[in-house]
Structure 1
Amino acid sequence: MTSEVNPRTRRQGPAMLRGRAVPQTTTDQRLLDSRGPADWVHADPWRVLRIQAEFVEGFGLLAELPKAVSVFGSARTKPGSQEYELAVDIGARLHEAGYAVITGGGPGIMEAANKGCDENGGTSVGLGIELPFEQKLNDYLDIGLEFRYFFVRKTMFVKYSQAFVVLPGGFGTLDELFEAITLVQTKKITRFPIVLVGTEFWGGLLDWVRKVMLPSGKISPEDLDLVHLTDDPDEVVQVVRDAHLKAERRLQEEAAAVEAAAAEGT
């Protein structure tokens, strides 16, 4: 349930701009562009406050979110397609397993996962982003938030998700996938499950990782275990639940070990 794109309309953070009010560049472009006059240097302290405000808004809105899974995939996937309906099914099953569903808030796979969760009574969240073209938040959200900066939005995905489920998508989907893998591989975050859905779509990529990256020494053999590939929505949920049950048992064992050590000390 998405509306047609209006090329003269731009969402910019919480604001909506039309016609001549639409800027020619995005907020990220203006922050990162080092060309031209240096006047922008004097505005950076104000940009820092805007960035800070985005973090505060996101943390405040999502702080009480229950355990959640982020679902990624193409915004170009059409309603009614096999991939769209698969994402609807996964969104519904994640809710049934006790998880909220977080997406990028847009159309396609994002809309489908939000729809499956929302229509079955779950908590459905969308984290949108300012783009040069209009992409409204979909209609299946309980909580929706639009960001100016990609890096703030990515922080929200990682901070408030206990797993990533990745369906077929384009460059944006690959960006989210490999950032998650990198954060887990480098132990910058606690390990959580990363599930790729679509053996035909993702199989070639994983074959290249195994046959090129691994033999050339660019990754370690254990890095291949960071992702799980499947076509089965039941398996998606099972992988996520098993990982969390294992993590809970580990925390309980560590807590028991601390208590035992304390008891011995007394």
Structure 2
Amino acid sequence: MELRRSQADIPQADQYLLDTRDREDFTHTDPWRVLRIQSEFVEGFGTLAELGPAISVFGSARTRPGTVHYDIAEQIGRLLVEQNFAVITGGGPGSMEAANKGASEAGGLSVGLGIELPFEQGLNDWVDLGINFRYFFARKTMFVKYAQGFIVLPGGLGTMDELFEAMVLVQTQKVTSFPIVLVGSSFWSPLIDWVKSTLLGEGMIAEADLDLVSVVDTAAEAVDHIMAGLSDRNGRRRPPTESM
């Protein structure tokens, strides 16, 4: 389902789910929503079950074509396909569109996992295999379940949410460890410095948690770090990398 113009202003499924106000309409009750949630998981699992090796690429929907970050995302999509990976994005514009474009033009499988929002609507034109979700948590499950690693370009709150969720899942061993690569040292350095000085400095994380992510500046470095991280996970020797 895609909502545009006036229809985009209606309450969203996530809003209905998290809103505690009473509604008598059966289609707005929690038991009914369980069936809707189940259907999203069934569709996601069924559609992506035979996807094969894939990397999830996150980044801002506001990144403009022709900018450095857009060009890097496009290069990342192409390079991942050359390494026989499918590319999974949020299916929207900006960095997501760029990664999908690079993957599609390289002849690989370009996947978009969209979300019902009152803005940034619709899957971009470079998505070959797309699913639209109502619920963020169902969508996030697909990002993690079907990816062997994450590449994260500069972005806003949604990108930060996806990044930190991935880090928590690895830290708590809820998933088999996979590489997480941040692209753009000038963008990410202030955050990394804060993590070191404040979170680590005040004992909120362990020093080993600093190794959860690596920071690079080019598309080639990002894909190289993904390959190195997967080699390390599979028990083969991994070349030195720069982490936090």
Q: Which moves more between the two structures, 227-236 or 162-171?
A: 227-236
Q: CA deviation at 1:171?
A: 0.2
Q: Which residue of 2 aligns with 1:196?
A: 182
Task: Tell me: CA distance 1:210–1:121, structure 2 relative to 1, closer, same or farther (3 Å).
Answer: same
| Correspondence for 1:39 among 24, 36, 40 | 24
Structure 1 pair 17–166 and aligned structure 2 pair: CA distance change class (3 A): closer
**Structure 2 gap ranges (5+):** 237-244
Matches of 2:142 and 2:231 in 1, distance apart? 23
SS of the counterpart of 1:249? coil
Could you say which residue in structure 2 is the equivalent of 1:246?
232
Q: Which moved more, 1:23-32 or 1:163-172?
A: 23-32
Native 8 Å contact 2:115 2:136 kept in 1: yes
Range moving further from structure 2, 99-108 or 37-46: 37-46
Q: Secondary structure of the equivalent of 2:29? A: helix
The 2-side partners of 1:173 and 1:216 are apart by: 25
CA distance in 2, matches of 1:16, 1:222: 44
Change (3 A) 1:84 1:17: closer
Q: Does 1:50 find its partner at 2:36? A: yes
TM-fit CA distance, 1:132 = 1.6
Report what 2:242 is aligned to: none
Quick check: 1:214 aligned with 2:223?
Answer: no
1:215: Cα distance to partner?
Answer: 1.3
Q: 3-state SS of the aligned residue for 2:24?
A: helix
Whole-Å separation in 2 of the counterparts to 1:150 and 1:81? 28
Cα distance change of structure 1 residues 71 and 17 upon mapping to structure 2, 3 Å threshold: closer
Over 3 Å counting, the alpha-carbon distance change for 1:227 and 1:57 in structure 2 is same
Per the TM alignment, residue 45 of structure 1 is displaced from its structure 2 partner at its CA by 1.2
Q: How many residues align?
A: 235
Alignment of 1:205 with 2:191, yes or no, is yes
Compared CA separation, residues 50 and 199, structure 1 to 2 (3 A): same
Equivalent residue for 1:9? none
Q: Which residue number corresponds to residue 140 of structure 2?
A: 154
Q: Paired residue for 2:81?
A: 95
Task: Show the counterpart of 1:170.
Answer: 156
- Partner residue of 1:114? 100
Question: Which residue does the alignment assign to 1:262?
Answer: none
**Percentage of pairs with the same residue:** 60
* 1:139 equivalent among 110, 122, 125: 125
Confirm or deny: 8 A CA contact 2:167 2:212 kept in the other structure: yes
Kindly state the Cα deviation for residue 64 of structure 1 after the two structures are TM-superposed: 0.2
SS at 2:131 equivalent? strand
* Deviation sequence 1:92-145 (CA, Å, 0-9, x none): 111111111000000000000000110010110000000023511001111011
Cα offsets for 1:235-261 (capped at 9, x unmatched): 2111111122233336xxxxxxxxxxx
CA deviations over 1:47-85 (Å, ceiling 9, x no partner): 100000000000000000010000000000011111100
Note if 1:26 corresponds to 2:12: yes
Structure 1 gaps of 5+ residues are: 1-13, 251-266
Classify 1:33/1:208 alpha carbon distance in 2 versus 1 (closer, same or farther; 3 Å).
Answer: same
For 1:223 and 1:105, how far apart are their aligned partners in 2?
Answer: 30
Match for 1:66 among 47, 52, 60?
52
RMSD: 1.7
Larger radius of gyration: 1
- 1:78 equivalenced with 2:79 (yes/no): no
Q: CA deviation at 1:40?
A: 6.2
